């Protein structure tokens, strides 16, 4: 009875040892704060913003009209007899302007508007991808910390069990093999803890690289728990969601590009107005009016129009394919989340409590001589496996949730707005 009490007291004492944690002064880092820091630190998002600014410049250029042309033409000089020198020269000063009768400028502006809208959607999509990456890194870091806690508890149990087995072996109540197995189990627990700590450090470093390289923070472990109820509803993606909106804009851009190519099939005329001065008539002069009309005889831009129409059809098919792909992915992720949530609840309500009870019974039976060391070892491994499986399933749930948040643009409001001048 004294050995039973001794083993139980030792186990409780070891399990009750404080687990090293970050200093209390360290600022806790929640998911929302991690996302904000990542958005501030990410150069890729700023690069996408620069692409939007470039599209603004393209729109500004598309609105520009054709420049007028100023011409000077001198005739009838440098010849022979009466045309020697500049005495009989005729000088014409003219101003020419191309007239947009084919609607090319209007078509260019509409195309530039679509390209600008597409660049803004690309920036939004890139930001949503970044937020998803932060969510993944955040939950992987939390899962790694949970596994470290489990590994420490396993080591504590192994140390307590090793102490009890050593006493029984010294008293010749267990064979030497039992002591060797206990030592091996203790070594395995130490190795498992070292591996879990290394994985945790790697996960935290990955998160740090996304939020600016600083991980002097404490993660909020409560964020890793299974939500009691959904705080938000994941509505099925519509054409207004960023991914489909991007494909829709690409289709619209292709349509505007077709209109631009069609407008180029017609050549704009050029009007000119000038003044001609006659040197041999004491500087008298007269007005000159001109009209230049290119003839679309050999080139009416047929090839470019055909290509633009084909690209427009391609964009239409890609939009429909994108709709179907997003619907499939949305349904698949939702089913996976439901399965993960059910598995986590089963683990927390049934599997882990039963495994804990089995370990307690095995430990008590071993101290009373009713069970062997292997029975205790199997029970301890079963409990560790159940706890680790719960962590892995919880991580799967949160990673699937991150993917669903990405599809439905849950954190769209977290992205900063960009002014379009």
DSSP assignments along 293-313, one per residue: ----SS---HHHHHHHHHHHH
Residue 60: predicted pLDDT: 94
| Nearest to 95, CA basis, from 66, 132, 129, 62 | 66
Predicted TM-score of the model (pTM): 0.82
Looking from the CA of 341 toward its CB, the CA atoms found within 13 Å total 13
Report the C-alpha gap between 248 and 242 in whole angstroms: 10
pLDDT over 70 (residue 12): no
How high is the pLDDT of residue 246? 94
- pLDDT band at residue 404 under the 50/70/90 scheme: very high
317 to 104, 295, 303, 322, 326: CA distances (angstroms): 27, 37, 21, 8, 14
Token reading at 237: 């993606």
165-169, 211-215, 315-319, 410-414 — which one is most confidently predicted on average?
315-319
pLDDT top residue among 322 and 213: 322
What local confidence, expressed as pLDDT, does residue 228 receive?
66
Angstrom distance (rounded) from CA 395 to CA 180? 36
Q: Which CATH superfamily is domain 2-15+40-65+114-242+314-414 in?
A: Outer membrane efflux proteins (OEP) (1.20.1600.10)
C-alpha 77/C-alpha 278 separation (Å) is: 11
Share of residues in the chain with pLDDT > 90 (%): 57
């Amino acid at each position: 009875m004294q050995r039973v009490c001794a083993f139980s007291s030792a186990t409780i004492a070891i399990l009750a040892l404080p687990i090293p944690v970050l200093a209390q002064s360290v600022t806790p880092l929640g998911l929302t704060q991690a996302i904000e820091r990542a958005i501030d630190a990410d150069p890729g998002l700023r690069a996408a913003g620069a692409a939007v600014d470039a599209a603004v410049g393209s729109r500004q250029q598309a609105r520009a009209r054709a420049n007028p042309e100023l011409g000077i033409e001198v005739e009838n000089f440098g010849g022979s007899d009466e045309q020697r020198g500049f005495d009989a020269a005729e000088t014409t000063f003219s101003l020419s302007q191309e007239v947009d009768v084919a609607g090319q400028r209007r078509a260019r502006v509409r195309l530039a508007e679509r390209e600008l809208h597409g660049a803004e959607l690309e920036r939004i999509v890139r930001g949503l991808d970044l937020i998803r990456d932060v969510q993944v890194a955040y939950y992987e870091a939390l899962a790694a910390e949970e596994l470290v806690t489990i590994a420490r508890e396993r080591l504590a149990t192994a140390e307590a069990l090793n102490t009890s087995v050593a006493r029984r072996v010294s008293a010749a109540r267990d064979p030497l093999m039992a002591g060797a197995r206990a030592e091996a189990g203790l070594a395995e627990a130490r190795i498992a803890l070292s591996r879990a700590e290394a994985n945790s450090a790697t996960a935290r470093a990955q998160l740090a690289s996304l939020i600016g390289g600083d991980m002097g923070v404490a993660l909020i472990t409560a964020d890793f728990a299974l939500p009691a109820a959904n705080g938000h509803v994941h509505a099925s993606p519509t054409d207004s969601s960023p991914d489909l909106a991007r494909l829709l804009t690409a289709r619209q851009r292709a349509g505007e590009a077709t209109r631009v190519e069609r407008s180029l099939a017609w050549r704009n005329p050029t009007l000119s107005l000038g003044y001609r001065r006659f040197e041999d008539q004491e500087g008298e002069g007269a007005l000159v009016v001109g009209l230049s009309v290119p003839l679309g005889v050999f080139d009416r831009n047929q090839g470019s129009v055909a290509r633009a129409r084909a690209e427009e059809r391609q964009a239409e098919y890609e939009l429909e394919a994108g709709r179907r792909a997003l619907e499939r992915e949305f349904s698949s992720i939702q089913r996976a989340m439901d399965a993960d949530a059910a598995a986590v609840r089963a683990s927390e309500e049934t599997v882990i409590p039963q495994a804990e009870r089995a370990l307690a019974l095995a430990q008590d039976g071993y101290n009373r001589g009713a069970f062997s060391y292997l029975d205790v070892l199997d029970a301890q491994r079963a409990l560790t496996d159940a706890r680790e499986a719960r962590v892995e399933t919880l991580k799967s749930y949160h990673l699937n949730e991150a993917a669903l948040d990405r599809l439905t643009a849950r954190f769209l409001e977290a992205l900063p707005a960009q002014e379009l001048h």
